[in-house]
Structure 1
Amino acid sequence: MTTLYIGNHTSSSKGYTAMAKQMIANGGNTFAFFTRNPRGGKAKAIDEKDIRNFLELTESCNFGKIVAHAPYTLNACAAKENLRDFARETFADDLQRMEYTPGNYYNFHPGSHVGQGAEIGIQKIAEILNDVLTEEQSTTVLLETMSGKGSEVGRNFEELREIIDLVHLKNKIGVCLDTCHVWDGGYDIVNDLDGVLDAFDHIIGLDNLKAVHLNDSLNDLGSHKDRHARIGEGKIGLNALVRVICHPKLKEIPFILETPNDDEGWTKEISLLREAYSK
Protein backbone atom coordinates (compact mmCIF):
# COMPACT_ATOMS: atom_id res chain seq x y z
CA MET A 1 0.00 0.00 0.00
CA THR A 2 1.21 3.52 -0.79
CA THR A 3 2.01 5.91 2.04
CA LEU A 4 -0.71 8.24 3.29
CA TYR A 5 0.87 11.64 3.87
CA ILE A 6 -1.44 13.47 6.23
CA GLY A 7 -1.10 16.22 8.81
CA ASN A 8 -2.65 19.47 9.92
CA HIS A 9 -2.06 23.19 9.67
CA THR A 10 0.11 24.05 12.67
CA SER A 11 1.68 27.08 14.33
CA SER A 12 5.14 28.11 13.14
CA SER A 13 5.83 30.21 16.26
CA LYS A 14 8.16 27.60 17.82
CA GLY A 15 10.18 26.79 14.71
CA TYR A 16 10.40 24.02 12.13
CA THR A 17 11.66 21.23 14.41
CA ALA A 18 8.94 21.91 16.96
CA MET A 19 6.31 21.81 14.20
CA ALA A 20 7.60 18.45 13.00
CA LYS A 21 7.70 17.02 16.53
CA GLN A 22 4.15 18.18 17.17
CA MET A 23 3.04 16.59 13.91
CA ILE A 24 4.68 13.28 14.85
CA ALA A 25 2.83 13.44 18.18
CA ASN A 26 -0.40 14.02 16.24
CA GLY A 27 0.28 10.97 14.07
CA GLY A 28 1.11 13.02 10.98
CA ASN A 29 3.91 12.92 8.44
CA THR A 30 3.39 16.27 6.70
CA PHE A 31 2.04 19.65 7.78
CA ALA A 32 1.16 23.17 6.69
CA PHE A 33 2.16 26.45 8.33
CA PHE A 34 1.99 30.17 7.71
CA THR A 35 5.29 31.68 6.60
CA ARG A 36 4.51 34.72 8.78
CA ASN A 37 1.54 36.15 10.64
CA PRO A 38 -1.50 35.26 8.47
CA ARG A 39 -2.51 38.92 8.60
CA GLY A 40 0.87 39.99 7.24
CA GLY A 41 3.97 41.54 8.75
CA LYS A 42 7.63 40.66 8.88
CA ALA A 43 8.66 37.00 9.02
CA LYS A 44 10.82 35.61 11.81
CA ALA A 45 14.54 35.23 11.12
CA ILE A 46 15.56 31.80 9.85
CA ASP A 47 17.32 29.68 12.49
CA GLU A 48 19.74 27.57 10.44
CA LYS A 49 20.43 25.12 13.29
CA ASP A 50 16.71 24.55 13.68
CA ILE A 51 16.43 23.96 9.93
CA ARG A 52 19.22 21.35 10.01
CA ASN A 53 17.53 19.52 12.89
CA PHE A 54 14.21 19.71 11.08
CA LEU A 55 15.60 18.26 7.85
CA GLU A 56 17.27 15.38 9.72
CA LEU A 57 14.11 14.60 11.69
CA THR A 58 11.74 14.68 8.73
CA GLU A 59 14.05 12.54 6.62
CA SER A 60 14.33 9.91 9.37
CA CYS A 61 10.54 9.88 9.81
CA ASN A 62 9.74 9.72 6.06
CA PHE A 63 7.81 12.98 5.92
CA GLY A 64 6.06 14.00 2.74
CA LYS A 65 6.35 17.45 1.26
CA ILE A 66 5.30 20.26 3.57
CA VAL A 67 2.91 23.00 2.43
CA ALA A 68 3.76 26.55 3.46
CA HIS A 69 0.89 29.05 3.28
CA ALA A 70 1.17 32.69 2.27
CA PRO A 71 -0.50 35.27 4.54
CA TYR A 72 -4.16 35.97 3.82
CA THR A 73 -3.31 39.64 3.22
CA LEU A 74 -1.32 38.76 0.09
CA ASN A 75 -3.61 39.88 -2.75
CA ALA A 76 -1.79 39.69 -6.06
CA CYS A 77 -4.74 41.21 -7.94
CA ALA A 78 -5.57 44.08 -5.60
CA ALA A 79 -6.79 47.30 -7.20
CA LYS A 80 -4.35 49.41 -5.16
CA GLU A 81 -0.77 49.22 -6.34
CA ASN A 82 0.67 49.51 -2.83
CA LEU A 83 -1.14 46.28 -1.92
CA ARG A 84 0.25 44.58 -5.01
CA ASP A 85 3.72 45.83 -4.06
CA PHE A 86 3.26 44.18 -0.65
CA ALA A 87 2.17 40.96 -2.37
CA ARG A 88 5.18 41.00 -4.71
CA GLU A 89 7.67 41.70 -1.91
CA THR A 90 6.14 39.11 0.43
CA PHE A 91 6.07 36.51 -2.32
CA ALA A 92 9.72 37.08 -3.22
CA ASP A 93 10.84 37.04 0.42
CA ASP A 94 8.90 33.87 1.21
CA LEU A 95 10.27 32.05 -1.82
CA GLN A 96 13.83 32.90 -0.77
CA ARG A 97 13.11 31.59 2.72
CA MET A 98 11.56 28.39 1.31
CA GLU A 99 14.92 27.46 -0.20
CA TYR A 100 16.16 26.60 3.32
CA THR A 101 13.73 23.65 3.08
CA PRO A 102 14.11 22.84 -0.61
CA GLY A 103 11.68 20.97 -2.79
CA ASN A 104 8.48 21.80 -0.90
CA TYR A 105 5.26 23.71 -1.65
CA TYR A 106 4.17 27.32 -1.15
CA ASN A 107 0.39 27.70 -1.29
CA PHE A 108 -1.54 30.97 -1.74
CA HIS A 109 -5.06 32.24 -2.28
CA PRO A 110 -5.10 33.75 -5.79
CA GLY A 111 -6.76 36.92 -4.50
CA SER A 112 -9.84 39.09 -4.90
CA HIS A 113 -10.29 41.35 -7.90
CA VAL A 114 -12.44 43.80 -5.82
CA GLY A 115 -14.65 44.90 -8.70
CA GLN A 116 -12.04 44.97 -11.45
CA GLY A 117 -13.41 41.76 -12.95
CA ALA A 118 -11.98 38.25 -13.02
CA GLU A 119 -10.15 38.78 -16.32
CA ILE A 120 -8.16 41.72 -14.94
CA GLY A 121 -7.58 39.81 -11.69
CA ILE A 122 -6.21 36.81 -13.57
CA GLN A 123 -3.82 38.99 -15.56
CA LYS A 124 -2.55 40.72 -12.42
CA ILE A 125 -1.97 37.44 -10.55
CA ALA A 126 0.02 36.04 -13.46
CA GLU A 127 2.04 39.25 -13.66
CA ILE A 128 3.11 38.92 -10.01
CA LEU A 129 3.97 35.26 -10.50
CA ASN A 130 6.08 36.12 -13.53
CA ASP A 131 7.87 38.76 -11.47
CA VAL A 132 8.81 36.41 -8.60
CA LEU A 133 9.22 32.90 -10.01
CA THR A 134 12.78 31.91 -10.97
CA GLU A 135 14.36 28.98 -12.77
CA GLU A 136 16.63 28.43 -9.76
CA GLN A 137 13.93 27.92 -7.14
CA SER A 138 13.14 24.39 -5.96
CA THR A 139 9.78 25.38 -4.45
CA THR A 140 6.54 24.77 -6.35
CA VAL A 141 3.97 27.55 -5.91
CA LEU A 142 0.39 26.31 -5.55
CA LEU A 143 -2.75 28.17 -6.54
CA GLU A 144 -5.56 27.22 -4.16
CA THR A 145 -9.06 26.38 -5.36
CA MET A 146 -11.50 28.89 -3.89
CA SER A 147 -15.19 28.77 -2.92
CA GLY A 148 -16.18 31.82 -4.99
CA LYS A 149 -17.26 34.15 -2.20
CA GLY A 150 -17.27 37.84 -3.03
CA SER A 151 -14.82 38.70 -5.82
CA GLU A 152 -12.45 35.77 -5.31
CA VAL A 153 -10.44 34.64 -8.29
CA GLY A 154 -10.04 30.87 -8.60
CA ARG A 155 -13.71 30.06 -8.09
CA ASN A 156 -13.55 27.37 -10.75
CA PHE A 157 -10.95 25.25 -12.51
CA GLU A 158 -11.14 27.40 -15.65
CA GLU A 159 -9.93 30.52 -13.82
CA LEU A 160 -6.96 28.65 -12.38
CA ARG A 161 -6.16 27.31 -15.86
CA GLU A 162 -6.21 30.86 -17.24
CA ILE A 163 -3.67 31.96 -14.63
CA ILE A 164 -1.39 29.00 -15.37
CA ASP A 165 -1.60 29.72 -19.11
CA LEU A 166 -0.16 33.20 -18.50
CA VAL A 167 2.71 32.03 -16.27
CA HIS A 168 6.05 31.69 -18.05
CA LEU A 169 7.66 29.13 -15.72
CA LYS A 170 4.88 26.56 -15.70
CA ASN A 171 7.14 23.93 -14.11
CA LYS A 172 7.19 26.07 -10.93
CA ILE A 173 3.41 26.20 -10.50
CA GLY A 174 0.72 23.77 -9.37
CA VAL A 175 -2.65 23.60 -7.61
CA CYS A 176 -3.84 22.81 -4.08
CA LEU A 177 -7.41 21.50 -4.05
CA ASP A 178 -9.43 22.41 -0.95
CA THR A 179 -12.33 19.99 -0.48
CA CYS A 180 -14.46 22.53 1.39
CA HIS A 181 -13.80 25.22 -1.21
CA VAL A 182 -14.60 23.09 -4.26
CA TRP A 183 -17.76 21.74 -2.59
CA ASP A 184 -18.86 25.24 -1.66
CA GLY A 185 -17.88 26.26 -5.19
CA GLY A 186 -20.32 23.77 -6.73
CA TYR A 187 -18.18 20.68 -7.44
CA ASP A 188 -20.01 17.61 -6.11
CA ILE A 189 -17.19 15.57 -4.59
CA VAL A 190 -19.74 13.60 -2.53
CA ASN A 191 -21.73 12.06 -5.38
CA ASP A 192 -19.36 12.50 -8.32
CA LEU A 193 -15.74 12.58 -7.16
CA ASP A 194 -14.60 10.81 -10.34
CA GLY A 195 -16.39 13.40 -12.46
CA VAL A 196 -14.81 16.28 -10.54
CA LEU A 197 -11.33 14.80 -10.90
CA ASP A 198 -11.95 14.13 -14.59
CA ALA A 199 -12.96 17.79 -15.02
CA PHE A 200 -9.84 18.91 -13.16
CA ASP A 201 -7.72 16.66 -15.36
CA HIS A 202 -9.34 17.93 -18.57
CA ILE A 203 -9.05 21.61 -17.63
CA ILE A 204 -5.86 21.81 -15.52
CA GLY A 205 -4.24 18.37 -15.59
CA LEU A 206 -3.94 16.05 -12.60
CA ASP A 207 -0.17 16.23 -12.87
CA ASN A 208 -0.56 19.81 -11.62
CA LEU A 209 -2.51 18.75 -8.50
CA LYS A 210 0.18 18.73 -5.82
CA ALA A 211 -1.71 18.91 -2.47
CA VAL A 212 -5.18 18.68 -0.91
CA HIS A 213 -6.62 20.69 1.95
CA LEU A 214 -8.89 18.07 3.52
CA ASN A 215 -11.82 19.84 5.15
CA ASP A 216 -15.49 19.16 5.72
CA SER A 217 -17.92 22.02 5.07
CA LEU A 218 -20.67 23.60 7.13
CA ASN A 219 -22.43 24.62 3.92
CA ASP A 220 -24.51 23.07 1.18
CA LEU A 221 -23.10 22.33 -2.27
CA GLY A 222 -22.56 25.55 -4.26
CA SER A 223 -23.09 27.92 -1.31
CA HIS A 224 -19.93 29.97 -2.09
CA LYS A 225 -19.37 30.65 1.62
CA ASP A 226 -16.18 28.82 2.72
CA ARG A 227 -16.81 27.63 6.29
CA HIS A 228 -14.76 24.61 7.31
CA ALA A 229 -16.12 21.83 9.52
CA ARG A 230 -14.45 18.97 11.38
CA ILE A 231 -14.12 15.71 9.46
CA GLY A 232 -17.49 13.95 9.42
CA GLU A 233 -19.37 16.84 11.01
CA GLY A 234 -20.26 18.74 7.85
CA LYS A 235 -22.19 18.45 4.59
CA ILE A 236 -19.40 16.55 2.81
CA GLY A 237 -19.12 13.80 5.42
CA LEU A 238 -16.57 11.22 6.47
CA ASN A 239 -17.28 8.66 3.74
CA ALA A 240 -16.75 11.16 0.93
CA LEU A 241 -13.50 12.44 2.44
CA VAL A 242 -12.23 8.87 2.87
CA ARG A 243 -12.93 8.36 -0.84
CA VAL A 244 -10.75 11.41 -1.51
CA ILE A 245 -7.72 10.11 0.40
CA CYS A 246 -8.14 6.62 -1.06
CA HIS A 247 -8.64 7.71 -4.66
CA PRO A 248 -6.04 6.10 -6.94
CA LYS A 249 -5.44 9.39 -8.77
CA LEU A 250 -4.49 11.14 -5.51
CA LYS A 251 -1.85 8.76 -4.19
CA GLU A 252 1.08 10.07 -2.13
CA ILE A 253 0.24 13.76 -2.28
CA PRO A 254 0.05 15.63 1.06
CA PHE A 255 -3.39 15.89 2.68
CA ILE A 256 -3.60 18.84 5.07
CA LEU A 257 -6.34 19.19 7.68
CA GLU A 258 -7.52 22.79 8.21
CA THR A 259 -10.45 21.77 10.37
CA PRO A 260 -11.47 23.92 13.39
CA ASN A 261 -9.56 21.88 15.97
CA ASP A 262 -6.75 21.69 18.49
CA ASP A 263 -3.96 19.09 18.56
CA GLU A 264 -6.16 16.60 20.40
CA GLY A 265 -8.85 16.94 17.75
CA TRP A 266 -6.38 16.67 14.85
CA THR A 267 -4.83 13.58 16.43
CA LYS A 268 -8.26 11.93 16.48
CA GLU A 269 -8.97 12.94 12.88
CA ILE A 270 -5.60 11.69 11.63
CA SER A 271 -6.10 8.37 13.44
CA LEU A 272 -9.63 8.04 12.05
CA LEU A 273 -8.47 8.70 8.49
CA ARG A 274 -5.44 6.41 8.75
CA GLU A 275 -7.66 3.57 9.97
CA ALA A 276 -10.07 4.10 7.10
CA TYR A 277 -7.21 4.31 4.59
CA SER A 278 -5.75 1.00 5.73
CA LYS A 279 -8.98 -0.96 5.25
Structure 2
Amino acid sequence: MLIIGSHVSFGAKQLLQSVTEAVSYNADTFMFYTGAPQNTIRKDIDDTLTLQATAIMQENKIDINNVICHAPYIVNPATNDPEKREFAINFLKQEISRCASLGVKYLVLHPGSSVNITKEEGLDNIVTVLNNILDNPYDVTILLETMAGKGNERGITTDELAYLINNVNDNTKLGVCIDTCHLNDAGIDLASFDKYLDDFDQKIGIPRIKCVHVNDSKNPFNSHKDRHANIGFGTIGFDTLSNIIYNPRLDNIPKILETPYIGDTDDAKEKKYPPYKYEIAMIRSKTFDNELLDKIRKAYNKN
Protein backbone atom coordinates (compact mmCIF):
# COMPACT_ATOMS: atom_id res chain seq x y z
CA MET A 1 0.00 0.00 0.00
CA LEU A 2 1.24 3.48 -0.87
CA ILE A 3 1.63 5.75 2.17
CA ILE A 4 2.67 9.19 0.97
CA GLY A 5 2.86 12.66 2.46
CA SER A 6 5.21 15.59 2.80
CA HIS A 7 7.02 17.88 5.14
CA VAL A 8 4.50 20.19 6.83
CA SER A 9 4.67 23.03 9.36
CA PHE A 10 4.26 22.62 13.13
CA GLY A 11 3.90 26.20 14.29
CA ALA A 12 1.75 27.71 17.01
CA LYS A 13 -0.94 25.03 16.75
CA GLN A 14 1.67 22.26 16.80
CA LEU A 15 0.44 18.85 15.63
CA LEU A 16 -3.01 20.27 14.86
CA GLN A 17 -1.39 22.65 12.38
CA SER A 18 0.63 19.80 10.87
CA VAL A 19 -2.27 17.44 10.30
CA THR A 20 -4.54 20.20 8.97
CA GLU A 21 -1.92 21.04 6.35
CA ALA A 22 -1.41 17.36 5.49
CA VAL A 23 -5.14 16.86 4.98
CA SER A 24 -5.20 19.83 2.59
CA TYR A 25 -2.66 17.95 0.44
CA ASN A 26 -4.75 14.75 0.45
CA ALA A 27 -1.81 13.06 2.16
CA ASP A 28 -1.73 9.71 3.94
CA THR A 29 0.93 10.85 6.39
CA PHE A 30 3.31 13.75 7.09
CA MET A 31 6.64 14.79 8.59
CA PHE A 32 7.33 17.80 10.79
CA TYR A 33 9.97 19.53 12.91
CA THR A 34 8.92 20.53 16.43
CA GLY A 35 10.43 23.96 15.72
CA ALA A 36 12.67 25.61 13.14
CA PRO A 37 15.09 23.12 11.50
CA GLN A 38 17.93 25.62 11.93
CA ASN A 39 17.72 25.97 15.72
CA THR A 40 16.84 24.10 18.90
CA ILE A 41 14.31 26.55 20.36
CA ARG A 42 11.29 24.47 21.30
CA LYS A 43 7.99 24.98 23.17
CA ASP A 44 6.27 22.55 25.48
CA ILE A 45 3.79 20.20 23.84
CA ASP A 46 0.16 21.28 24.25
CA ASP A 47 -1.84 18.12 24.98
CA THR A 48 -5.13 19.80 24.04
CA LEU A 49 -3.85 20.54 20.54
CA THR A 50 -2.52 16.99 20.29
CA LEU A 51 -5.95 15.56 21.12
CA GLN A 52 -7.58 17.75 18.48
CA ALA A 53 -4.95 16.65 15.95
CA THR A 54 -5.53 13.01 16.80
CA ALA A 55 -9.26 13.39 16.13
CA ILE A 56 -8.59 14.90 12.69
CA MET A 57 -6.13 12.12 11.88
CA GLN A 58 -8.73 9.51 12.76
CA GLU A 59 -11.36 11.26 10.63
CA ASN A 60 -8.98 11.29 7.66
CA LYS A 61 -7.52 7.81 8.18
CA ILE A 62 -4.01 9.07 8.91
CA ASP A 63 -2.24 6.53 11.10
CA ILE A 64 -0.07 8.16 13.79
CA ASN A 65 2.26 5.17 13.45
CA ASN A 66 3.23 6.47 10.00
CA VAL A 67 3.88 10.06 11.11
CA ILE A 68 7.52 11.20 11.21
CA CYS A 69 9.35 13.84 13.26
CA HIS A 70 12.70 15.24 12.09
CA ALA A 71 15.45 16.48 14.39
CA PRO A 72 16.96 19.90 13.55
CA TYR A 73 20.01 20.11 11.28
CA ILE A 74 22.05 22.03 13.84
CA VAL A 75 22.48 18.97 16.09
CA ASN A 76 25.78 17.24 15.28
CA PRO A 77 26.27 13.83 16.95
CA ALA A 78 29.58 13.31 15.09
CA THR A 79 31.29 16.35 16.60
CA ASN A 80 34.50 15.96 18.58
CA ASP A 81 33.61 18.93 20.79
CA PRO A 82 32.50 17.46 24.16
CA GLU A 83 30.21 20.40 24.95
CA LYS A 84 28.46 20.26 21.57
CA ARG A 85 28.12 16.49 21.85
CA GLU A 86 26.59 16.82 25.32
CA PHE A 87 24.26 19.47 23.95
CA ALA A 88 23.19 17.06 21.20
CA ILE A 89 22.52 14.32 23.76
CA ASN A 90 20.44 16.56 26.01
CA PHE A 91 18.44 18.07 23.16
CA LEU A 92 17.74 14.73 21.50
CA LYS A 93 16.58 13.22 24.80
CA GLN A 94 14.08 16.08 25.07
CA GLU A 95 13.05 15.64 21.44
CA ILE A 96 12.40 11.94 21.99
CA SER A 97 10.22 12.86 24.97
CA ARG A 98 8.32 15.37 22.82
CA CYS A 99 7.74 12.70 20.17
CA ALA A 100 6.36 10.38 22.83
CA SER A 101 4.02 13.11 24.09
CA LEU A 102 2.71 13.54 20.54
CA GLY A 103 2.34 9.79 20.00
CA VAL A 104 4.93 9.87 17.20
CA LYS A 105 7.15 6.81 16.95
CA TYR A 106 9.87 7.90 14.52
CA LEU A 107 12.51 10.63 14.80
CA VAL A 108 14.77 11.18 11.77
CA LEU A 109 18.33 12.21 12.62
CA HIS A 110 21.20 13.40 10.43
CA PRO A 111 24.25 11.49 11.72
CA GLY A 112 26.36 14.63 11.61
CA SER A 113 29.72 15.84 10.33
CA SER A 114 33.17 14.74 11.50
CA VAL A 115 35.00 18.08 11.24
CA ASN A 116 38.78 18.01 11.85
CA ILE A 117 38.72 14.33 12.86
CA THR A 118 38.83 11.01 11.04
CA LYS A 119 35.76 9.26 9.69
CA GLU A 120 36.21 6.54 12.31
CA GLU A 121 36.36 9.04 15.16
CA GLY A 122 33.21 10.71 13.88
CA LEU A 123 31.37 7.40 13.70
CA ASP A 124 32.43 6.51 17.23
CA ASN A 125 31.19 9.90 18.46
CA ILE A 126 27.81 9.15 16.89
CA VAL A 127 27.75 5.77 18.64
CA THR A 128 28.38 7.54 21.96
CA VAL A 129 25.47 9.91 21.37
CA LEU A 130 23.17 7.10 20.26
CA ASN A 131 23.99 5.00 23.32
CA ASN A 132 23.00 7.93 25.52
CA ILE A 133 19.75 8.80 23.79
CA LEU A 134 18.54 5.26 23.07
CA ASP A 135 18.55 4.44 26.77
CA ASN A 136 15.02 5.72 27.43
CA PRO A 137 11.58 4.32 28.30
CA TYR A 138 9.82 5.68 25.20
CA ASP A 139 8.53 3.86 22.12
CA VAL A 140 10.40 6.14 19.72
CA THR A 141 12.77 4.81 17.05
CA ILE A 142 15.70 6.93 15.84
CA LEU A 143 16.01 6.83 12.05
CA LEU A 144 19.52 7.56 10.76
CA GLU A 145 19.22 9.38 7.45
CA THR A 146 21.36 8.50 4.43
CA MET A 147 23.46 11.55 3.58
CA ALA A 148 24.80 13.07 0.34
CA GLY A 149 28.41 13.40 1.50
CA LYS A 150 28.83 17.18 1.69
CA GLY A 151 32.09 18.01 3.43
CA ASN A 152 32.67 15.53 6.24
CA GLU A 153 29.12 14.20 6.53
CA ARG A 154 28.76 10.74 7.98
CA GLY A 155 26.11 8.21 7.00
CA ILE A 156 26.86 8.43 3.29
CA THR A 157 27.33 4.68 2.78
CA THR A 158 25.49 1.56 3.87
CA ASP A 159 28.72 0.42 5.54
CA GLU A 160 28.79 3.52 7.75
CA LEU A 161 25.16 3.08 8.78
CA ALA A 162 25.78 -0.61 9.45
CA TYR A 163 28.73 0.31 11.68
CA LEU A 164 26.53 2.61 13.76
CA ILE A 165 23.70 0.08 14.06
CA ASN A 166 26.05 -2.78 14.93
CA ASN A 167 28.09 -0.87 17.52
CA VAL A 168 25.45 0.68 19.76
CA ASN A 169 24.65 -1.13 22.99
CA ASP A 170 21.03 -1.76 21.99
CA ASN A 171 19.83 -1.19 18.41
CA THR A 172 16.22 -2.22 19.05
CA LYS A 173 15.05 1.38 18.58
CA LEU A 174 17.34 2.25 15.69
CA GLY A 175 16.36 2.33 12.02
CA VAL A 176 17.13 4.09 8.74
CA CYS A 177 15.51 6.79 6.60
CA ILE A 178 16.72 6.68 3.00
CA ASP A 179 16.68 9.89 0.96
CA THR A 180 16.62 9.58 -2.83
CA CYS A 181 18.34 12.91 -3.49
CA HIS A 182 21.05 12.08 -0.96
CA LEU A 183 21.58 8.61 -2.43
CA ASN A 184 21.90 10.03 -5.95
CA ASP A 185 24.29 12.76 -4.85
CA ALA A 186 26.31 10.22 -2.84
CA GLY A 187 26.88 8.11 -5.95
CA ILE A 188 24.17 5.44 -5.67
CA ASP A 189 22.72 4.50 -9.09
CA LEU A 190 18.99 4.73 -8.44
CA ALA A 191 18.21 3.28 -11.86
CA SER A 192 19.52 0.03 -10.33
CA PHE A 193 17.76 0.56 -7.00
CA ASP A 194 17.22 -3.13 -6.31
CA LYS A 195 21.00 -3.64 -6.29
CA TYR A 196 21.20 -0.99 -3.58
CA LEU A 197 18.45 -2.73 -1.63
CA ASP A 198 20.21 -6.09 -2.02
CA ASP A 199 23.39 -4.63 -0.51
CA PHE A 200 21.39 -2.85 2.21
CA ASP A 201 19.53 -6.03 3.07
CA GLN A 202 22.75 -8.00 3.39
CA LYS A 203 24.51 -5.44 5.59
CA ILE A 204 21.63 -3.99 7.63
CA GLY A 205 18.31 -5.58 6.68
CA ILE A 206 15.45 -3.94 4.78
CA PRO A 207 13.15 -4.10 7.86
CA ARG A 208 15.33 -1.31 9.34
CA ILE A 209 14.04 1.09 6.65
CA LYS A 210 11.13 2.90 8.26
CA CYS A 211 10.85 6.01 6.06
CA VAL A 212 11.79 7.16 2.56
CA HIS A 213 12.41 10.82 1.72
CA VAL A 214 11.41 11.16 -1.93
CA ASN A 215 13.19 14.04 -3.63
CA ASP A 216 14.55 14.68 -7.08
CA SER A 217 18.01 16.28 -7.29
CA LYS A 218 19.21 19.55 -8.80
CA ASN A 219 22.73 18.15 -8.99
CA PRO A 220 24.56 15.60 -11.13
CA PHE A 221 25.04 12.03 -9.98
CA ASN A 222 27.78 11.64 -7.33
CA SER A 223 28.07 15.43 -6.83
CA HIS A 224 27.90 15.27 -3.00
CA LYS A 225 25.87 18.50 -2.89
CA ASP A 226 22.29 17.80 -1.70
CA ARG A 227 19.89 20.23 -3.36
CA HIS A 228 16.36 18.91 -3.73
CA ALA A 229 14.33 19.33 -6.92
CA ASN A 230 10.64 18.80 -7.59
CA ILE A 231 9.55 15.31 -8.56
CA GLY A 232 10.48 14.61 -12.18
CA PHE A 233 12.19 17.97 -12.68
CA GLY A 234 15.67 16.97 -11.57
CA THR A 235 18.49 14.67 -12.57
CA ILE A 236 16.90 11.52 -11.11
CA GLY A 237 13.66 11.70 -13.07
CA PHE A 238 10.05 10.71 -12.50
CA ASP A 239 10.21 7.12 -13.71
CA THR A 240 13.14 6.22 -11.46
CA LEU A 241 11.52 7.87 -8.44
CA SER A 242 8.17 6.22 -9.18
CA ASN A 243 9.88 2.83 -9.36
CA ILE A 244 11.38 3.45 -5.92
CA ILE A 245 8.09 4.67 -4.45
CA TYR A 246 6.24 1.61 -5.73
CA ASN A 247 9.03 -0.90 -5.11
CA PRO A 248 7.28 -3.85 -3.41
CA ARG A 249 10.15 -4.25 -0.96
CA LEU A 250 9.30 -0.80 0.42
CA ASP A 251 5.54 -1.34 0.53
CA ASN A 252 3.74 0.16 3.55
CA ILE A 253 6.76 2.34 4.40
CA PRO A 254 5.93 6.08 4.63
CA LYS A 255 7.20 8.11 1.67
CA ILE A 256 7.80 11.78 2.49
CA LEU A 257 8.27 14.61 -0.04
CA GLU A 258 10.75 17.35 0.89
CA THR A 259 10.67 19.06 -2.49
CA PRO A 260 11.03 22.85 -2.78
CA TYR A 261 8.21 25.36 -2.92
CA ILE A 262 7.44 26.88 -6.33
CA GLY A 263 8.02 30.50 -7.33
CA ASP A 264 6.11 32.60 -9.86
CA THR A 265 8.86 31.72 -12.35
CA ASP A 266 11.50 29.00 -12.37
CA ASP A 267 14.21 31.49 -11.39
CA ALA A 268 12.14 33.52 -8.90
CA LYS A 269 13.93 34.04 -5.58
CA GLU A 270 10.70 33.87 -3.58
CA LYS A 271 9.38 30.30 -3.42
CA LYS A 272 5.86 30.58 -2.01
CA TYR A 273 3.67 27.78 -3.40
CA PRO A 274 3.77 24.34 -1.73
CA PRO A 275 3.75 21.65 -4.46
CA TYR A 276 2.78 18.68 -2.32
CA LYS A 277 -0.92 18.28 -3.13
CA TYR A 278 -0.08 18.21 -6.84
CA GLU A 279 3.05 16.07 -6.58
CA ILE A 280 1.17 13.53 -4.46
CA ALA A 281 -1.62 13.37 -7.06
CA MET A 282 0.93 12.94 -9.86
CA ILE A 283 2.70 10.15 -7.97
CA ARG A 284 -0.61 8.37 -7.40
CA SER A 285 -1.39 8.65 -11.11
CA LYS A 286 2.02 7.11 -11.96
CA THR A 287 2.22 9.53 -14.90
CA PHE A 288 4.65 12.44 -15.19
CA ASP A 289 3.13 15.85 -15.93
CA ASN A 290 5.72 18.10 -17.57
CA GLU A 291 3.43 21.09 -17.03
CA LEU A 292 2.95 20.47 -13.31
CA LEU A 293 4.90 23.49 -12.06
CA ASP A 294 2.89 25.90 -14.24
CA LYS A 295 -0.33 24.23 -13.11
CA ILE A 296 0.69 24.74 -9.48
CA ARG A 297 1.33 28.44 -10.12
CA LYS A 298 -2.05 28.87 -11.81
CA ALA A 299 -3.85 26.99 -9.04
CA TYR A 300 -2.46 29.21 -6.29
CA ASN A 301 -2.97 32.43 -8.25
CA LYS A 302 -6.67 31.57 -8.62
CA ASN A 303 -7.13 31.37 -4.84
Normalised by the shorter chain, which TM-score bucket? over 0.9
* Counterpart residue number, 1:250: 250
One-letter identity of the residue aligned with 2:56:
L
* Counterpart residue number, 1:131: 132
Contact kept, 8 Å, 1:69 with 1:107, in 2: the verdict is yes
One-letter identity of the residue aligned with 2:223:
S
One-letter identity of the residue aligned with 1:275:
S
For 1:1-279, list aligned pairs within 5 A.
2=1, 4-13=2-11, 14-64=13-63, 65-102=66-103, 104-134=105-135, 136-190=137-191, 192-261=192-261, 264-276=274-286
Q: Distance in 2 between matches of 1:41 and 1:204?
A: 31
Higher RCO (C-alpha under 8 Å, 6+ residues apart)? 1
CA distance change for structure 1 residues 264 and 149 in 2, over 3 Å: closer, same or farther? closer
The offset of 1:62, in angstroms, is 2.2
TM-score where L is the length of structure 2: 0.87
Runs of 4+ in 1 over 3 A off after TM superposition: none
Q: Distance in 2 between matches of 1:240 and 1:118?
A: 31
CA distance change for structure 1 residues 222 and 103 in 2, over 3 Å: closer, same or farther? same
Q: Distance in 2 between matches of 1:37 and 1:237?
A: 30
One-letter identity of the residue aligned with 1:9:
H
Q: Secondary structure at the match of 1:27?
A: coil
Q: Distance in 2 between matches of 1:61 and 1:139?
A: 23
Contact kept, 8 Å, 1:106 with 1:142, in 2: the verdict is yes
Structure 1 window deviating more from structure 2 (77-86 vs 122-131): it is 77-86
Listed as ranges, the gaps of 5+ residues in structure 1 are none
Contact kept, 8 Å, 1:36 with 1:70, in 2: the verdict is no
Q: Distance in 2 between matches of 1:230 and 1:206?
A: 26
Contact kept, 8 Å, 1:5 with 1:63, in 2: the verdict is no
Structure 1 window deviating more from structure 2 (143-152 vs 34-43): it is 34-43
The offset of 1:50, in angstroms, is 0.7
One-letter identity of the residue aligned with 1:29:
D
Q: Secondary structure at the match of 2:279?
A: helix
One-letter identity of the residue aligned with 2:186:
G
Structure 1 window deviating more from structure 2 (92-101 vs 131-140): it is 131-140
Structure 1 window deviating more from structure 2 (261-270 vs 241-250): it is 261-270
**How many residue pairs end up in the alignment?**
274
Q: Distance in 2 between matches of 1:155 and 1:91?
A: 21
RMSD: 1.4
Q: Distance in 1 between matches of 2:194 and 2:98?
A: 37
Q: Secondary structure at the match of 1:256?
A: strand
